[in-house]
Amino acid sequence: MISFDQAYTHVLEHTLELGIEVVPLMQSLQRVLAEDICADRDFPPFDRATKDGIAINYSDHINTDHILQIEGVAAAGAPQQELRTVGNCVEVMTGAVVPQNTDTVIMYEHISITDNVAVINEKVSKGQNIHYKGSDEKAGAVLLTIGTKITAAEIGVMATVGKSYVTVKANPKITTIATGNELVEVDAVPLPHQIRKSNTITLEAALQTRAIPTNSLHLIDNKEALSKSLKTALKQNDVLLLSGGVSKGKFDFIPEVMETLGVEKVFHRVAQRPGKPFWFGVHKELKTVIFSFPGNPVSTFANFHVYFLPWLHKCWNIPVANQYIKLSGEIHIKPPLTRFIQVCTKREKGGIYAVPISENGSGDLLSLSKSNGFICLQPREKGYGSGELVPFISTK
Amino acid sequence: MISFDQAYTHVLEHTLELGIEVVPLMQSLQRVLAEDICADRDFPPFDRATKDGIAINYSDHINTDHILQIEGVAAAGAPQQELRTVGNCVEVMTGAVVPQNTDTVIMYEHISITDNVAVINEKVSKGQNIHYKGSDEKAGAVLLTIGTKITAAEIGVMATVGKSYVTVKANPKITTIATGNELVEVDAVPLPHQIRKSNTITLEAALQTRAIPTNSLHLIDNKEALSKSLKTALKQNDVLLLSGGVSKGKFDFIPEVMETLGVEKVFHRVAQRPGKPFWFGVHKELKTVIFSFPGNPVSTFANFHVYFLPWLHKCWNIPVANQYIKLSGEIHIKPPLTRFIQVCTKREKGGIYAVPISENGSGDLLSLSKSNGFICLQPREKGYGSGELVPFISTK
């Protein structure tokens, strides 16, 4: 049995080169950029009026009596116009190109117009109400960098620079595998000794939230059948996420079968709760990484967040966000096990506090919906104090 | 012009009854529950072994010399077995039904087995290593309540109780509408006076993140064309989200056209920045709600989060999470405008701080990708101090 720190280090030592793929813009939502996104031209691309009103030449204006003949109208979406006569003005709309020979925009609220003549009623500053060409960004500037998580705002930026297709980090091919004869489908009525599959469905949902599609399998506790199915699964996937079959039971065949299929065990059993029987291996030739989580719902869910997601971030070469929040009360974690404790966070006076939820052991699936993450506490002789900062792993 | 508080109140006064719909379990991810989810049986459904080892009858055991004949093996997924002979034991696997006439499980680590005889090497507590029937929840208990946002954990809970179909709050039918002659498609090369569409695409992405599908339209600044398209859109949708066409420009036809189509203006112009020209109306007969946002990217994005999302939460009868975070420095907001200021949050010592990002006005789309939310500051004579708690609206 190894320590949590050792297990975590080992997992991160076995990343895969997942490559990149090109997807249509809207499908890049929630993905991770694999290219820098650059400005294809200046932003804004022209001197842009930011108010509806009139555009004037400021130097002319100071020589007039604030009464200007209107020469025309510059609409948004129309080519740039030209102010032809000194002392005149052009009506201009928000978003329009500021006309040639003008340098200042006065909003309607500050003028009055009668018979096509504008009278200025307020003080004017030279250059006002113009969003200058290139003032946000110059052509060629890097707007978004490789490794950025794509949210709605990034979709907007990419639309603006014409990225109808986007290069993103490729997802690993993942199959989630439920093991155990006691499991039946969600739509089945279980016999008294059976339960419905939920762990792999939970994992699929957690991956779907991150725009990662999955396949799923259910394998029964039979060595030959396991061997046959896993052989194919190892070939067809980058990652297998298994649930169950790694404890000390007579029918926990996963470690043995994996090793006969050429998978190299990196470790089995970690000094942690929940999830002690976690088994982790790699098939070096096929380049497949196997996370074999214990079958209890809390164990599988915790290990997925604690190990798999940081592993995936490392594969994509993006940082794992380490969050720390405050404990709402004292907790004592006696050696030797590292503990992942389900908490519900509470915001108070600008701080975030971890409030442990009551749970009934690692088989208590229902507790997962009451929490929004785990705090990760290393064992130590001295208790953790109320208000102490501890690592937090969000699950919602 | 009305105040932000008035505008917000008006928007929330015009909610719609959106109804419910039934979707397959995996499609309920990110949706909102419209039914309580109850335990269909006790959880766990039987006295469940939580360790691999042997099951004994504790009272018998204290009368023996800790040496027990093994009668058989109870596997997970097999019907309940029975211990037939006093003083014997049954091997039992994690997840298996604890055999009849046994009440205590001893893990393999605490026994040794030779020739089908187990010897107990450690102290045993009566009832240990059993996850008792109904100890998590009793049959009929409400596990998830109406209004719960469905994440991976809730998917797992629903799988367990056999919900292959789930009743969720129905999404509104939404069309996002870009207006303006200056807009071209993302894959087009714009002429010097044109820009690519981005606002409606950003809104679509923000809605897609929430599992809400949308249609989209681009309408040019022509009264007849606008009128024709909007007439149909009003009929076919619950909500129209427009961007542009509500300022004081000569081609800002939206308010006028809406009113000719029977839409009742609730308000136009709010004392806020960005997004002052925000127009809001309802078509009472068609039961359509119209959010007509100013065309600047930051205005549209801010108003969507400030008004539309709380409106949607109210329609679904779920609470709006009011978040408060600390200011990282002093800010002075002079009357009369309420300000939505883009910030990037920073976590420090268990607190969350709002760090305003530099932006170049409401036309600065690029700034949106640098922030993860807005702080909402009411105007006041006294400045906001560093560390003061202020409302925060998350956008990522």
Q: Which of B77, B180, B220 sits opposite A193 (nearest CB)?
A: B77
* Architecture (CATH level 2) of domain B21-38+145-169: Alpha-Beta Complex (3.90)
Band of pLDDT at residue A364, cut at 50, 70 and 90: confident
Q: Give the separation between CA B205 and CA B393, rounded to whole angstroms.
A: 17
Count of C-beta atoms within a 10 Å radius of residue A122: 10
| pLDDT digit string, tens, across residues A4-33 | 999 999 999 999 999 999 999 999 999 999
Inter-chain CB proximity A159 and B197 less than 8 Å:
yes
- Secondary structure (3-state) at A270: strand
CB-CB under 8 Å, B91 with A202: no
Between these two residues, A64 and A195, which has the higher pLDDT value?
A195
- Check whether A360 has a pLDDT greater than 80: no
Higher-scoring residue by pLDDT: A350, B125: B125
How many angstroms separate the CA of residue A62 from the nearest CA in chain B?
A: 25
Let me know: does B295 contact B274? Beta carbons within 8 Å: no
Q: Concatenated DSSP letters for A348-365?
A: ETTEEEEEEPP--STT-G
Residue contact A183–B77, C-beta within 8 A = yes
CATH classification code of A323-394:
2.40.340.10
DSSP state for residue B173 in the 8-state scheme = P
Please state the domain extents for chain B. Answer: 4-18+171-315, 21-38+145-169, 48-131, 323-394
**Across chain B, what does the average pLDDT equal?**
94
Looking at residue B253, the DSSP 8-state letter turns out to be -
pLDDT tens-digit map of B375-391: 999 999 999 999 999 99
- Environment class of B332 (CB within 10 Å of its CB; exposed 0-12, middle 13-18, buried 19+): exposed
**CB-CB neighbors (< 8 A) of A96 in chain B:** 182, 193
Other Cβ atoms closer than 10 A to B72: 15
Q: Which of A135, A157, A366 sits opposite B360 (nearest CB)?
A: A135
Lowest mean per-residue pLDDT among A92-96, A230-234, B58-62, B235-239: B58-62
Among A51-65, B40-54, B92-106, the least confident range: A51-65
Q: Please tell me the total number of residues recorded for chain B in this structure.
A: 396
When CB atoms are compared, the residue of A44, A199, A352 closest to B363 is A44
> What are the distances in angstroms from CA A122 to CA A56, A69, A106, A119, B249?
14, 17, 9, 9, 19
Residue that wins the pLDDT comparison between A86 and A100: A100
What pLDDT digit, counting tens, does each position of B264-323 carry?
999 999 999 999 999 999 999 999 999 999 988 999 999 999 999 999 999 999 998 789
E strand or H helix that includes residue A338: strand A338-348
Q: What is the mean pLDDT of chain A?
A: 94
- Which residue in chain B is spatially nearest to A327 when comparing CA positions? B350
Could you give the CA distance from residue B22 to residue A340 in angstroms, rounded to a whole number? 35
Q: Which is nearest to B201 in space by CA: A155, A28, A151, A43?
A: A155
Cβ(A94)–Cβ(A113) below 8 Å: no
Tell me: the pLDDT tens digits for A176-209? 999 999 999 999 999 999 999 999 999 999 999 9
Q: Which of B137, B151, B198 sits opposite A366 (nearest CB)?
A: B137
What's the whole-number mean pLDDT along residues B175-179?
97
Query: Which of B43, B221, B366 has the CB atom closest to A136's CB atom?
Result: B366
Estimate the share of chain B in helix, then strand, then coil, as percent rounded to the nearest 5: 20, 35, 45
Average pLDDT over residues A124-138: 94
Q: How far is the C-alpha of B277 from the C-alpha of B293, rounded, in Å?
A: 7
**Where residue A153 falls among pLDDT bands split at 50, 70, 90?**
very high
Q: Which of A365, A368, A384, A393 to mutate to test binding with chain B, by most B CBs within 10 Å of its CB? A: A365
Q: How far apart are CA A198 and CA A179, in angstroms?
A: 11
Predicted pLDDT at A287: 98
DSSP bridge pairs for B74: B92
Model pLDDT, residue B248: 85
Measured in whole angstroms, the distance separating CA A61 from the mean position of its chain's CA atoms is 52
Which amino acid, A313? H
CB pair distance less than 8 Å for A196 and B249: no
Min Cα–Cα distance to chain A from B342, Å: 12
Whether the CB of A301 is below 8 Å from some CB of chain B: the reply is yes
Cβ atoms of B366 and B198 within 8 Å: the answer is no
* Residues 254 through 293 of chain A touching chain B, CB cutoff 8 Å: none
Of B146, B168, B157, B151, the C-alpha closest to B23 is B168
Specify the CATH architecture of the domain A21-43+135-169.
Alpha-Beta Complex (3.90)
Provide long-range contacts, Cβ within 8 A and 24+ apart, for A63-71: A63/A87, A66/A119, A66/A120, A67/A117, A67/A118, A67/A119, A67/A120, A68/A117, A68/A118, A68/A119, A68/A120, A69/A116, A69/A117, A70/A113, A70/A116, A70/A117, A70/A118
The answer to whether B206 contacts chain A (CB < 8 Å) is yes
CB contact under 8 A, B156 and A324: no
For helices B152-160 and A199-208, give the axis angle rounded to 10 degrees. Answer: 150
- Each residue of A376-395: pLDDT tens digit? 999 999 999 999 999 999 99
Please calculate the CA angle A196-A201-A205 and round it to the nearest 5 degrees. Answer: 150
Chain A CB within 8 Å of residue B389 CB: yes
Q: Do B202 and A364 touch (CB under 8 A)?
A: no
> Which residue among B73, B77, B152 sits closest to A205, beta carbon to beta carbon?
B152
Pairing relationship of beta strands B142-144 and B37-38 according to DSSP bridges: antiparallel
CA distance B375 to chain A (A): 13
Mean per-residue pLDDT, A246-253:
88
Q: Give the range among A35-44, A211-220, B320-329, B355-364 with minimum mean pLDDT.
A: B355-364
Tell me if A301 sits within 8 A of A368, measured CB to CB: yes
Closest CA to B225 of B257, B196, B255, B200: B257
Residues 151-190 of B with CB under 8 A from A: 151-157, 159-164, 180-183, 186-190
Q: How confident is the model at residue A112 (pLDDT cuts 50, 70, 90)?
A: very high
> Which contiguous run of DSSP H or E holds residue B143?
strand B142-144
B4 vs A136, residue with greater confidence? B4
Q: For chain A, how far is it from start to end, CA to CA, in angstroms?
A: 30
Contact (Cβ atoms closer than 8 angstroms) between residue A170 and residue A51 = no
Which chain B residues touch A206 with a CB distance below 8 Å? 152
**Residue at token pair 């489908």:** A185
Q: Are A212 and B54 in contact (CB under 8 A)?
A: no
Of B79, B182, B190, nearest to A95 by CB-CB distance is B182
Instruction: Give the residue from B352, B221, B247 showing the smallest Cα distance to B299.
Output: B247
* CA–CA distance, B89 with B71 (Å, rounded to integer): 6
Q: Which CATH class is domain A48-131?
A: mainly beta
Separation of alpha carbons A211 and A214, rounded Å: 10
Would you call B198 and A156 a contact, using CB atoms and an 8 Å cutoff?
yes
Neighbours of B84 (CB within 10 A): 12
Let me know: does A191 contact A144? Beta carbons within 8 Å: no
Whether A195 and B44 lie within 8 Å, measured CB to CB: yes
Distance (Å, whole) CA A279 – CA A245: 10
Q: Report the residue count for chain A.
A: 396
- β partners of residue B177: B217, B242
Of A370, A367, A250, which is closest to residue A299 (Cα–Cα)?
Answer: A367
Query: For residues A98 and A93, what is the distance between their CA atoms, to the nearest angstrom?
Result: 9
What is the three-class DSSP state of B148? coil
What confidence tier does B363 reach under pLDDT thresholds 50, 70, 90? low
The candidate with the shortest Cα–Cα distance to A141, out of A161, A164, A155, is A161
Rounded CA separation A216/A313 (Å) = 22
- A327 to chain B, any CB pair closer than 8 A? The answer is no
CATH architecture of A4-18+171-315: 3-Layer(aba) Sandwich (3.40)
Q: Residue A363 has what pLDDT?
A: 64
> Span B106-122, mean pLDDT?
94
Chain centroid offset of residue B55 CA: 44
